[in-house]
Structure 1
């Protein structure tokens, strides 16, 4: 029996917002999470990006806050959604705003890289739902611009990425500032040992939900690898884009400097390209992303951190110019295409130096990735190692955005 949004017990205002967005049937994570959230339970949900997870918490939160007449006081908030990056914060805030458009609720977003003053002004009238990155939230708190006395709901979105980026201490500081009696919702791509250790500190008897087998890649994504000399990567990228007439391509670079170089090389070949990463101003990042979504920009070159929050339903092509250092990031990267049932292409460049990373990726996803030969540029593939299950160990990384 197919679950409907109406059967989940959502209010008419929320259902109207869902209808406005063109959604007819809840995604698996929405179908499984909305009920427990509405019943007031804490949840731990394992869900990749692109599975509709934002709606899984935004829709029931709007429903619950709409049912309470009490408006938040000046500088107070009632629900807090923490996200790891600016782009994801902006994306989640947009989804929250769409979800409460037929109510009297107010929402706001707060992240670094832009002036804090407009964010402080928005909080002065009181905000029902605040979407924020940890660092900027603590900045606002230090200036007495946000208060938590009325807070009843906390959401940690993409908790695994927040830990990877070194936000664990900020998260613990924030949790200590919140009222002890509240509902807690944690969403993560995986439930690593670190995630479970964090959850034990603030989540009470959670309902556990998992809608995607760990580290699986979408069947809608056609994966391929091209073995190439490092010096020929730029030529290969330009050739694939031009020969296939790809008009919207997301390219992943391992470093900020590399992203700049790739975008410059493509532009010199007449291919409209821009790079986004942590060193770019927020204004430049926002404009580049908006132009890319609107298909005004042909190629967007991004680092892993900046790419969080790039949510384009029909993005057709993802290129791993550099393989990621952490195998799990491969799943996140190619998950940017093949979303919402659409098909997509994911091509990864592999050099002789990438044997270890390729082996880790293929062990993680449990399959050999098909080899694509490109005339004049690809080289003889290295010997494929047998697939084996990796040791359950998650690397620790500290990054800032």
Structure 2
């Protein structure tokens, strides 16, 4: 498939390690190249970003790409620049905390819905001039209350091609996709289950803190580990405890300034930290392909959150491990997760 692309794209893809297309890329790229709209259910780490970036660049199209979080938007921007390395790409990032030059509108814009609508309401951006509108992590958009924002953006867009990418396809997302897409192609590649490449283990602990800390320290061995805590306070407390014990650790929490969150995220991605403690909200959209292990220091609130957490490892064909600590009071949630795994 890649051999049919233009030489500059082939060269950039080869340098970025894209030798063979993934299943999602094989399914999606031809549809978007042919001008068809898609709704795609695929697990995180499946190569979905490249699946829509490649057609946008190959067609030399204009595109508006919507992301639920600033971190994911920044990663999408990085991917566009990587794949479009040998093209003259005109791309902008529009997220909270960053200025936007409204004297010119880029051919490709990546942003979060709230910030985009804020600029649109001030007349600084026009949604009607894009060939593509892509909604990434659509189910997370729904979770975070962005569905009306997305509908507003689509209502003021004249895009010929739309793409919705999601780990799950709730009814509201399907309805939205059909409302704004002509001849919608539905592509379901993965059932909503933890990826097969992840080895999962559940560890019963005696109490909610000290025993968990002891078990966590046993697991820290120089590998790249993502640790989930249930609240900002617990994440921060755990971060300082690990730091005090000499662990090379970073923190990702929703109450941190955006510049610090991005600094810590990239510190983990590039290997400055081998452990990252995060909350669910702050970690949405994290896409780091070489996370060796996910540790649920605190059990997730529901099965859906468990799967999203676990999906942060075992990406792009790599083998990962997920470890979940739980107390006897949380045994029912473990039973629900195990029932899902048995399907």
Task: Give yes or no for TM over 0.5.
Answer: yes
> SS at 1:149's partner residue?
helix
1:275-325 deviations in whole A, cap 9, x for unaligned? 212111111111111111222213211112221232222211110111211
Instruction: Determine the C-alpha separation between the residues in 1 that align with 2:217 and 2:89.
Output: 47
Among candidates 66, 75, 83, match of residue 82 of structure 1: 66
User: Residue in 2 aligned with 1:297?
Assistant: 273
Deviates more, 1:91-100 or 1:229-238: 229-238
Among candidates 179, 188, 202, match of residue 210 of structure 1: 188
Instruction: Determine the C-alpha separation between the residues in 2 that align with 1:152 and 1:45.
Output: 19
Task: Map 1:168-179 to 2 at 5 A.
Answer: 168-179=147-158
Alpha-carbon contact 1:93-1:109 (below 8 Å) kept: yes
User: Residue in 1 aligned with 2:44?
Assistant: 49
Q: Is structure 2 residue 160 aligned with structure 1 residue 196?
A: no
User: Using a 3 Å threshold, how does the CA distance of structure 1 residues 359 and 150 change in structure 2: closer, same or farther?
Assistant: same
Q: Is structure 2 residue 292 aligned with structure 1 residue 316?
A: yes
Instruction: Determine the C-alpha separation between the residues in 1 that align with 2:238 and 2:229.
Output: 8
> Normalised by the size of structure 2, how large is the TM-score?
0.94
Instruction: Determine the C-alpha separation between the residues in 1 that align with 2:334 and 2:145.
Output: 26
Q: Is structure 2 residue 110 aligned with structure 1 residue 134?
A: no
User: Residue in 1 aligned with 2:60?
Assistant: 65
Q: Is structure 2 residue 2 aligned with structure 1 residue 5?
A: yes
Among candidates 75, 94, 100, match of residue 91 of structure 1: 75
> SS at 1:170's partner residue?
helix
Q: Deviation of residue 88 (structure 1)?
A: 0.5
1:140-178 deviations in whole A, cap 9, x for unaligned? 112222112321110010100000011111111111221
Q: Where does the alignment leave 5 or more consecutive residues of structure 2 unmatched?
A: none
> SS at 2:127's partner residue?
coil
Task: Map 1:357-396 to 2 at 5 A.
Answer: 357-366=333-342
Alpha-carbon contact 1:10-1:60 (below 8 Å) kept: no
Q: List structure 1 runs of 4+ shifted beyond 3 angstroms.
A: none
Q: Deviation of residue 267 (structure 1)?
A: 1.5
> Normalised by the size of structure 1, how large is the TM-score?
0.81
Instruction: Determine the C-alpha separation between the residues in 1 that align with 2:181 and 2:339.
Output: 32
Alpha-carbon contact 2:225-2:274 (below 8 Å) kept: yes
Among candidates 207, 221, 235, match of residue 198 of structure 2: 221
RMSD of Structure 2 on Structure 1 (CA) = 1.6
Alpha-carbon contact 2:127-2:153 (below 8 Å) kept: no
Alpha-carbon contact 1:247-1:295 (below 8 Å) kept: no
Q: Deviation of residue 94 (structure 1)?
A: 0.8
User: Residue in 2 aligned with 1:280?
Assistant: 256
Please identify the structure whose Cα radius of gyration is greater.
1
Alpha-carbon contact 2:128-2:156 (below 8 Å) kept: no
1:3-46 deviations in whole A, cap 9, x for unaligned? x312xx42222222211212111000000110010000011111
User: Residue in 1 aligned with 2:89?
Assistant: 105
Q: Deviation of residue 217 (structure 1)?
A: 2.1
Deviates more, 1:153-162 or 1:222-231: 222-231
1:46-70 deviations in whole A, cap 9, x for unaligned? 111100000100000111126xxxx
User: Residue in 2 aligned with 1:326?
Assistant: 302
Q: Deviation of residue 187 (structure 1)?
A: 0.6
User: Residue in 1 aligned with 2:18?
Assistant: 23
User: Residue in 2 aligned with 1:348?
Assistant: 324
Instruction: Determine the C-alpha separation between the residues in 1 that align with 2:130 and 2:272.
Output: 41
Q: Where does the alignment leave 5 or more consecutive residues of structure 1 unmatched?
A: 67-77, 368-401
